[in-house]
Structure 1
Amino acid sequence: MSTPTAPVTPERIMQFAWGYAPTLAIEAALQHRVFDILDESPKTLDEIVMASGASERGLRAILNALVGLDFLRRDGDKYTLAPESEAFLVSTKPSFQGGMFKHTSKQLLPNWLQLNEIVRTGEPARSVNAEDDGSEFFKAFVHDIFPLSYPAAQVLAGHLALGSREGTVRVLDIAAGSGVWSIALTQSAPNVLATAFDWEGVLPATQAMVGRFGLLERYTFLPGDLNTTPFGDGYDVATLGHILHSEGAENSKALLKKTFEALKAGGTISIAEFLVNEERTGPPGSLIFAVNMLVNTKNGDTFSFEEIAAWLTAAGFVDVRTLDAPGPSPLVLATKP
């Protein structure tokens, strides 16, 4: 006896048609401090209205929507945080990841709304990997996305165990942004000195975050362009934290060769990326991020481990490998022989 085939319904299509709604509802809750207010204690709608200053009608709608999405819970007339929100959406906690929602609504969505035309022409809404546009784009949100990479950077620091090495260890943080990768490595051992490389317009944001961690005296800040400014040489570790996807294949190949030349023999490169599988059939998040690169860069894309490994090998690296770490994909590591 054959198993009946489940009927095809439009339910999943309708969910995607409203796919923008959870993002904007969470951001509205963040903007009106809902998660911070509920972190103090469970509260009624009236109490949240009083604490936030937002309207009763507006809050009722988004609070109930967030209950339906399981970002909030309700017991009687009191709302409380779900565990996920308590961990990641309270702005006073180091694990806070709500800054990504502001970045999405203020910087990404206006560009994505041009997607029909971008697909027709192949030209992005903006090119964030060009300095005149990119400096403003990145300095506005690098602090907000620091928590996204910090756990992975700490795993990298533990794996490299730089404190067990004799003498000074030099780290090159390429396109440093918030400095998250070099901050974790510098925190891990007193013998680590870091060079943060980025556009001149972004480095003040890097300096501010490094200063927040009390590490300024162990840093050098090097302004310049990825393609034209020399990195120097003699580094023990070089990090490329979510950079290749904005550069595209050809620029990435050249950047990996340039990084190879900046490392000393035995040096390690660490790459963080949104990896896709070799067939480009998944994972969905990395495939969607490739569309984000279509929207926001001239040549950006997402790549597979196999592609990046081939580029690293061509640049002269050996022992290309992965390191499991929190984030969208494992880190890709390789060694200069």
Structure 2
Amino acid sequence: MPTRDGSGPDHEELLLLWVARRTGVLDALTTDAGTVDEVTEATDLNRETTGRVVRLLAEYGYLHPMGDEYEVTNRALGFLATRDVRSVGATPYALDEMDALARIGDDAAMEGDESADDRRLRHRLGAHAARDVATVRAGVTAAVHAAPDAERVVDVRGASGVYATEFARRGYAATLVEAGTVLDVVGPMLGERGVEAVAANSVTNVPVADADLALLAGVLQRHPPETNRALLDAVYDVLGEGGVVVVLEPLRGVSPAAHRVAVERLAQGRGDAYTGEAVTTWLAAAGFVDGDVRDVPGTDYRAVVARCERGVD
């Protein structure tokens, strides 16, 4: 499951929500069905099963009973609207990951439509935007300690921009580099936070220059090694002399969250939880020097830090 920084529904609650979504119960309740009978008519479930699912959703706080009818509560808002990713939360993305795991081995089921892809993207960005504030601030603090003289920061493939936003909040000139499809979703809210948004035409494209600090937070886990090597090559070219790169990842063999990352990447069919040795090796191959793995207190992440020094073999 996605790394939730210690928060989010428990195992049983996620399973209930997953069943409710896959059977159409959630869709019925969040559209025009208000009673158990109406939900039963809208799904392939028998009435007894429907009644038990609806009762459990109410007990978990997703529905509010009003006589024989049920209305959705604020807890269910993430299933209703995805226009503003800040209202989505982490749960819809966790359910997407469960769907993906259930489809492993079924190539036909892996083929989605554009509307489903857009919904999954918004769920992923919503989960990222809901990342624990303390975890984000700890990651930014670790990066600042690694590059105390930095002024210009590039958040490489920073998804919702929560890390770039925290840098901007602290007075840094912060730029988020992301795919155009991502910026279409999160771009409007970044400007008001003082973050510059720059679209990249590929994963390994980082179209900025002369940054002092490059942050990659939970990025390498999403891609295979060959892509990560190419991406870090591009990051090296972005940094000026003495510039610092900070890679934040739950590292395999060190971070408990690496297990969750590995399962998530299994679901997606690409990427993995990598070791600190692998990341430092990729950084060295890109030309970075002084690679070092550091703790990020209070989080499951580690910071892999390296420096750009031109002319070093």
Contact 1:139–1:177 (Cα < 8 Å) also in 2: no
2:277 equivalent to 1:306: yes
- In structure 2, the residue matched to 1:183 is 165
Structure-to-structure mapping, 1:30-45, within 5 angstroms: none
After superposition, the Cα gap between the structure-2 partners of 1:220 and 1:145, relative to the gap in structure 1 and judged at 3 Å, is closer
**Residue type of the alignment partner of 1:300:** G
Give the equivalent residue in structure 1 for 2:129.
146
5 Å-filtered alignment, 1:4-19, equals none
Cα 1:308–1:124 change in 2 (3 A) is farther
Query: Deviation string for 1:27-78 (max 9, x for gaps)?
Result: 899xxxxxxxxxxxxxxxxxxxxxxx787965654576x69xxxxxxxxxxx
1:316: how far off? 2.1
TM-score in terms of structure 2 length: 0.65
Distance 2:120 2:177 in 1: 17
How much has 1:20 moved relative to structure 2? 5.6
In structure 1, runs of 5+ residues without a counterpart are 1-18, 30-52, 68-88
Structure 2: gaps spanning 5 or more residues: 1-9, 21-33, 37-50, 62-74, 79-85
- Report the secondary structure of 1:141's partner residue: helix
Q: Name the amino acid aligned to 1:236.
A: D
Q: How far did 1:234 drift? A: 0.6
Structure number with greater Rg is: 1
CA contact under 8 A between 1:149 and 1:327: conserved in structure 2? no
Partner of 2:193: 215
Q: Specify whether residues 169 and 315 from structure 1 end up closer, same or farther in structure 2 by C-alpha distance, changes over 3 A only.
A: same
C-alpha deviation, 1:147, in angstroms: 3.0
Match of 1:108 among 94, 97, 101: 97
Q: How do 1:80-119 residues align onto structure 2 when only pairs under 5 Å count? A: 99-105=89-95, 107-117=96-106
Cα 1:257–1:215, aligned 2, differ >3 Å: closer, same or farther? Answer: same
Identity of aligned residues (%): 19
TM-score of the superposed pair, with normalisation by structure 1:
0.61
The separation in 1 between residues aligned to 2:284 and 2:146, in whole angstroms, is: 24
Instruction: Provide the residue aligned with 1:23 in structure 2.
Output: 14
The answer to whether the aligner puts 1:335 opposite 2:307 as a matched pair is yes
| In the alignment, structure 1 residue 195 sits paired with structure 2 residue 193 | no
Amino acid at match of 2:140: A
Q: Find the counterpart in structure 1 of residue 207 from structure 2.
A: 231
Q: CA deviation at 1:325?
A: 4.1
Kept in 2: contact 1:199–1:224 (CA 8 A): yes
In the alignment, the residues of structure 2 paired with residue 111 and residue 162 of structure 1 have an alpha-carbon distance, to the nearest angstrom, of 37
By how many angstroms is 1:104 displaced? 2.0
Displacement of 1:252 in angstroms is 0.6
| 8 A contact 1:143–1:205 mirrored in 2 | no
CA deviation profile, 1:74-97 (whole Å, cap 9, x unmatched)? xxxxxxxxxxxxxxx8989xxx99
Q: Which residue of 2 aligns with 1:265?
A: 241
Which amino acid is 2:238 matched to?
A
Cα distance 1:149–1:236, how it changes in 2: closer, same or farther (>3 A)? Answer: farther
For 2:260 and 2:186, locate their aligned partners in 1 and report how far apart those are by CA, in whole Å.
Answer: 28
For residue 158 of structure 1, report the CA deviation from its aligned partner: 3.2
Number of equivalences: 250
Q: Is the 8 A contact 2:224 2:271 kept in 1?
A: yes
- Write out per-residue CA displacement over residues 194-236 of structure 1, whole angstroms, 9 at most, x where no aligned residue: 222111111022323324xx324x5242342123x35232101
Alignment check: 8 A CA contact 1:199 1:225 kept: yes
Residue of structure 2 equivalent to 1:157: 140
